[in-house]
Amino acid sequence: MTKYDHKAIEKKWQDKWEKDEVYKASDTSKKDKKYVLIEFPYPSGEGLHMGHLRPYTAGDVYSRFYRMQEHEVLYPIGWDAFGLPAENFALKKGVHPKISTVKNIENAKKQLQSWGMSFDWSREINTTDPEYYKWTQWIFLQFFKAGLAYEATGLINWCPKDKTGLANEEVIDGCCERCGTKVEKKEMRQWYLKITAYAEKLLAGLKDLTEWPEAVKLQQENWIGRSEGAEIEFPIANPRVKRYVILHGRASKPKDNSYPWLKKELEDRGFEVEIPEMPNPGEPNDLEQTDFVEKNCKLDESTVVVSHSFGGIVALRLLERGHKVHGVVLVSTPTTGKFLDKKARPTVSEAVRRGFDYKKIRQNSDYFKILVDSSDTVVPMEDGKVLGKNLDSYPQTVQALKPHFQGKEEPAILETLLPYMKIFTTRPDTIFGATYMVIAPEHPLVQSRMSISENFSDIAKYLEEVKKKDEITRTAVNREKTGVELKGVKAINPATKEEIPVWVADYALMGYGTGAIMAVPAHDERDFEFAKKYNLPIREVVKGGELPFVGNGKLVDSGEYNGMTSEEAIPKMAKEFGVPKVQYKLRDWVFSRQRYWGEPIPIIHCENCGVVAVPEKDLPVTLPEVERYEPTGTGESPLAAIKEWVNVKCPECEGPAKRETNTMPQWAGSSWYWLRYTDPQNGKELASKKLLKRWTPVDVYFGGMEHTTLHLLYSRFWNLFLYDQKVVTAQEPYMKRVPHGIVLAADGEKMSKSRGNVVNPDEIVEKFGADVLRMYEMFLGPHADTVSWNDKGIMGVKRFLDKTWNLGQVLVEHQVEESSQEVLQVLNKTIKKVTSDIENYRFNTAISALMILLNAFERQKTNISKLSWEDFLKLLAPLAPHITEELWHGLGHEGSIHKEAWPKYDEKFAQDTKVIFVVQISGRVRATLEMDAGSSQEDVKQKALADENVKKYLTDKEIIKEIFVQDKLINFVVK
């Protein structure tokens, strides 16, 4: 008997399969399609490991099974090859990432083939191929055009080791997801993808994904973090202000623009309002108008002067002349005499030319507020900056409803005049219990209110302290809360009309909601803790339990709402005091990286035109060759150093411009790759509609839990967007998600080089062969469970395949025409079980069923027909493709076993003819009976009562009840 030579046989068939293109997916066949996907690997220098093998084998078994079930199966593979390791390797060894990537891919491909994976290699893709990332960039441009890719400066997560910014999703426990380094906060200009615009769709889509595991859906749901509540404005009181004087601009009158609206809003709140009608508005003279205001208006320390455009010059002149006021609000004030519309306004320019005595002006008002419109068409933003510098104030940039603040209503102005804190709460029913306010240290209001608070230095000190803390210590749960009161600043509770104190405390987070909260210490644990520490009033407004009671109950001390339940009151009070609002925890996706080895972001910055998209015809923007890959660490990508690449002509005005030098994150290429597999060579579109329709959505996606709120969320986002853009045909990308457990080392620890417990799959293949490795990997435990590798355990599978081989040698020669009844019965049951097990990803039990079948075969060696043996080989083929192919050919077949039809079972044999009956007496097993299947209750009862042991237990007892389960059991309940 020949021994099974796994090395020679496995190699032989791998070569043959490749040559014959056995696993190529046809775009045109009439069979039902099945798109099976695995997460394509990153080709690292270390090669592929056990973590890859598990899902890939599962996908492979599943694919092979469906090919035999008459499906056209697409099981593709590619390389997610951008990313830091290749770049870090380049840094260390000086090898260009392109070169090391090619080498690593070659090696990984060899590994995959040695594992007998049935991928369709003709569709192999590589995210670093310009023909591929051309489309990654193209998709980015679609986001940009839709306003969903934007640039902003903000505090982002920064990994000091990888020297790059990170997305929220890439920060695990305050550490970098890649390297584990503590993440810092850094203020940077970054590209963002507006994933928050899709929060609702991402959430709603989950409901349709009925074949996704609940755990995966829940995790995404929690990550998106939807909560319903209300946004409520708390006015900030300033008792020193009694009156407003509004100075209109050039070519304007008190009834123009938003003045009437403003006047009414202010008067409604009990303020005195004056809007003098200025002389000669068409050709305004600042000195003449200043004289006019001096004569006609009352200006004192309870007055706030509000000015629009030219009126600002008049306002400044008034202070220059020594008028003391409480505050000055300057809206779109011209200070340079230059205008965006290039029109000449000689009287304005002349007024500006006279200059201002800013020192004097500064002394005559407690504060200056400078409002700048980002969409202004007249006064350049530059003018606001000049003003800010001279008045020691930060210009506040907002977008006016109509350019140059010319709308009939301009809420931004009102907001400046009547500062208020906007808060978000899920419990508007507790508003009567809001006894103080908390704002985050980064809140803009802190900056603007600090100057008028009485304890400026305390606050400044606190802000310094907060700045020093890193994110982890700041958000640690059990940390004692700290804060400082903004003394002299009071908010007004819109429900009770009481003035309540305002605190700056870092338990309010700028990143969520509005960065400010109403604190209800009686009904919020955090507020309770804070109130206790700082002796703030605690007022119970919902009855229900011990304070802080946070649940639902009956309202008390809440005016007309007394007696209502929280549930009833929440929607009503949300509407009365604010507006209902939905909040998400999801943040926009920080999409730029300050590294070399990634897709260049296809954007050009022009001095005149601003941010301009690279025209689609110029794609791809290829990565240039560089000498040095070092990240600069300053927040600039290494690309910035390549002048010839960076400096370009603006595609719009042809003026001098610069390329965006940040690259895309690792997740970009994988956010759409499954689409490309359907049409990998297409040069005109990312994939044709026809082929997308043929193959997508993916039917089954095998992958890890660790990608749930990363790749899986990102790629759903991209797909939903591309669906809205009518680029793809399926709304959701993956119909079914099958997660797998981690493979731990024998010691129950994670496999790692430093622990020295790594099991290298290639060594196992060398020693036992791919079939043994694949089967053992599947046999370790349920596919979704974490399992531990066991060196000894693998021998069980090896013995099974050895026995299969040996029996195969015997069965080539002596066979019977018809298998015995026992063989047929076990075989048919096994077909049934293996079929449903593979359909349901229960590979471990499928294997044990095959073991049982083989054991039966060994007992019945001489009673096995050729057909029965062939059925066994077919059942085993998806799991052990090589040995079964060899045995199949040994039986004289020409074609591949993997193209054979899956065995069908005969229900007649799959069912037992004899069944074992359990005889219970009051629920305890007292005997077992062998009966014909389908025996009647009466027959079973007769036989049971005849049993000696049963008789023994029935003596002196009365049967009061009889329970009969067909083919299973009979139970006598006795007294």
Partner RNA sequence: GCCGCGGUGGCGGAACUGGCAUACGCGCAUGGCUUAGGACCAUGUUCCGAAAGGAUUGAGAGUUCGAAUCUCUCCCGCGGCACCA
Interaction residues for RNA, span 229-268 (CB under 7 A): 229
Question: Cβ distance 245 to 305 under 8 Å?
Answer: yes
Per rule CB under 7 A, count of chain residues that contact RNA: 86
Identify the residue among 160, 488, 781, 890 touching RNA (CB under 7 A): 781
State which residue, 332 or 425, has the beta carbon closest to RNA: 425
526 binds RNA (CB under 7 A): yes
* Integer Cα distance of 248 and 554 in angstroms: 51
* Integer Cα distance of 604 and 506 in angstroms: 38
**Residue 82 Cβ, how far from RNA at the closest point, in Å?**
23
Stretch that binds RNA, among 89-97, 219-227, 352-360, 865-873 (CB under 7 A): 219-227
Residue count of the chain: 975
Identify the residue among 12, 362, 585, 605 touching RNA (CB under 7 A): 585
103 binds RNA (CB under 7 A): no
Question: Cβ distance 167 to 591 under 8 Å?
Answer: yes
Identify the residue among 47, 225, 488, 890 touching RNA (CB under 7 A): 225
Interaction residues for RNA, span 821-850 (CB under 7 A): 842, 844-845, 847-848
CA distances from 357 to 307, 315, 318 (A): 18, 13, 11
**Residue 230 Cβ, how far from RNA at the closest point, in Å?**
9
Identify the residue among 215, 251, 582, 959 touching RNA (CB under 7 A): 215
Question: Cβ distance 368 to 330 under 8 Å?
Answer: yes
For residue 839, the SS3 value is helix
Question: Cβ distance 225 to 584 under 8 Å?
Answer: yes
CA distances from 799 to 771, 855, 873 (A): 12, 12, 16
State which residue, 239 or 551, has the beta carbon closest to RNA: 551
* Integer Cα distance of 434 and 237 in angstroms: 16
Interaction residues for RNA, span 333-352 (CB under 7 A): none
**Residue 422 Cβ, how far from RNA at the closest point, in Å?**
11
766 binds RNA (CB under 7 A): no
787 binds RNA (CB under 7 A): yes
**Residue 4 Cβ, how far from RNA at the closest point, in Å?**
12
Question: Cβ distance 38 to 803 under 8 Å?
Answer: no
**Residue 425 Cβ, how far from RNA at the closest point, in Å?**
3
Number of Cβ within 10 Å of residue 186's Cβ equals 15
State which residue, 646 or 801, has the beta carbon closest to RNA: 801
State which residue, 178 or 842, has the beta carbon closest to RNA: 842
Name the residue with tokens 């026992």: 822
785 binds RNA (CB under 7 A): yes
* Integer Cα distance of 443 and 734 in angstroms: 41
**Residue 749 Cβ, how far from RNA at the closest point, in Å?**
11
SS (H, E, C) 514-530: CCEEEECCCCCHHHHHH
**Cα radius of gyration (the chain):** 38
DSSP string, 363-394: HTEEEEEEEEETT-SSS-HHHHHHHHHHHT-P
CA distances from 562 to 245, 497, 537, 775 (A): 42, 17, 20, 68
CA distances from 511 to 174, 272, 367, 501, 623 (A): 15, 38, 28, 23, 34
Interaction residues for RNA, span 291-310 (CB under 7 A): none
Question: Cβ distance 815 to 864 under 8 Å?
Answer: yes
Stretch that binds RNA, among 23-31, 639-647, 690-698, 964-972 (CB under 7 A): 964-972
* Integer Cα distance of 735 and 713 in angstroms: 14
**Residue 975 Cβ, how far from RNA at the closest point, in Å?**
11
532 binds RNA (CB under 7 A): no
* Integer Cα distance of 333 and 313 in angstroms: 7
In 3D, which of 151, 100, 127, 137 has the Cα closest to residue 41?
A: 127
CB within 8 A of 923, min separation 6: which ones? 971, 973
**Residue 805 Cβ, how far from RNA at the closest point, in Å?**
12
State which residue, 821 or 855, has the beta carbon closest to RNA: 855
Identify the residue among 103, 479, 533, 904 touching RNA (CB under 7 A): 479
State which residue, 793 or 890, has the beta carbon closest to RNA: 793
Identify the residue among 40, 42, 223, 841 touching RNA (CB under 7 A): 223
**Residue 89 Cβ, how far from RNA at the closest point, in Å?**
27
Tokens of 458: 């305390």
212 binds RNA (CB under 7 A): no
CB within 8 A of 483, min separation 6: which ones? 438, 462, 503, 504, 505, 506, 507, 530, 534
CB within 8 A of 644, min separation 6: which ones? 624
Identify the residue among 92, 173, 551, 955 touching RNA (CB under 7 A): 173
Identify the residue among 463, 509, 648, 816 touching RNA (CB under 7 A): 509
800 binds RNA (CB under 7 A): yes
583 binds RNA (CB under 7 A): yes
54 binds RNA (CB under 7 A): no
512 binds RNA (CB under 7 A): yes
Identify the residue among 386, 564, 852, 954 touching RNA (CB under 7 A): 852
For residue 965, the SS3 value is strand
Strands, E assignment, 848-913: none
971 binds RNA (CB under 7 A): yes
**Residue 770 Cβ, how far from RNA at the closest point, in Å?**
17
- Tell me the longest C-alpha to C-alpha distance in the chain: 124
508 binds RNA (CB under 7 A): yes
* Integer Cα distance of 602 and 613 in angstroms: 6
* Integer Cα distance of 518 and 88 in angstroms: 48
172 binds RNA (CB under 7 A): yes
Virtual torsion, Cα 480, 486, 492, 494, nearest 10 deg: -40
Using CB under 7 A as the criterion, what x/- string covers residues 406-445 for binding RNA?
A: -----------------xxxxx------------x-----
**Residue 61 Cβ, how far from RNA at the closest point, in Å?**
16
State which residue, 266 or 929, has the beta carbon closest to RNA: 929
State which residue, 936 or 949, has the beta carbon closest to RNA: 949
Stretch that binds RNA, among 235-243, 502-510, 572-580, 885-893 (CB under 7 A): 502-510
Identify the residue among 780, 873, 883, 929 touching RNA (CB under 7 A): 780
How does 879-909 read in b/e, with b if 16+ C-beta sit within 10 Å? bbbbbbbbbbbeeeeeebbbebebbebeeeb
Stretch that binds RNA, among 22-30, 304-312, 659-667, 794-802 (CB under 7 A): 794-802
Stretch that binds RNA, among 196-204, 287-295, 341-349, 503-511 (CB under 7 A): 503-511
792 binds RNA (CB under 7 A): yes
214 binds RNA (CB under 7 A): yes
Interaction residues for RNA, span 931-960 (CB under 7 A): 949
Using CB under 7 A as the criterion, what x/- string covers residues 688-717 for binding RNA?
A: -----------------xx--x--------
793 binds RNA (CB under 7 A): yes
Interaction residues for RNA, span 905-924 (CB under 7 A): 916, 918, 920, 922-924
> Helix, strand, coil: what percent of the chain each, to 5?
40, 20, 40
State which residue, 224 or 728, has the beta carbon closest to RNA: 224
Stretch that binds RNA, among 117-125, 490-498, 515-523, 571-579 (CB under 7 A): 515-523
Q: At what angle do helices 199-208 and 711-724 cross, to 10 degrees?
A: 100
Identify the residue among 788, 815, 820, 911 touching RNA (CB under 7 A): 788
Identify the residue among 154, 407, 796, 890 touching RNA (CB under 7 A): 796
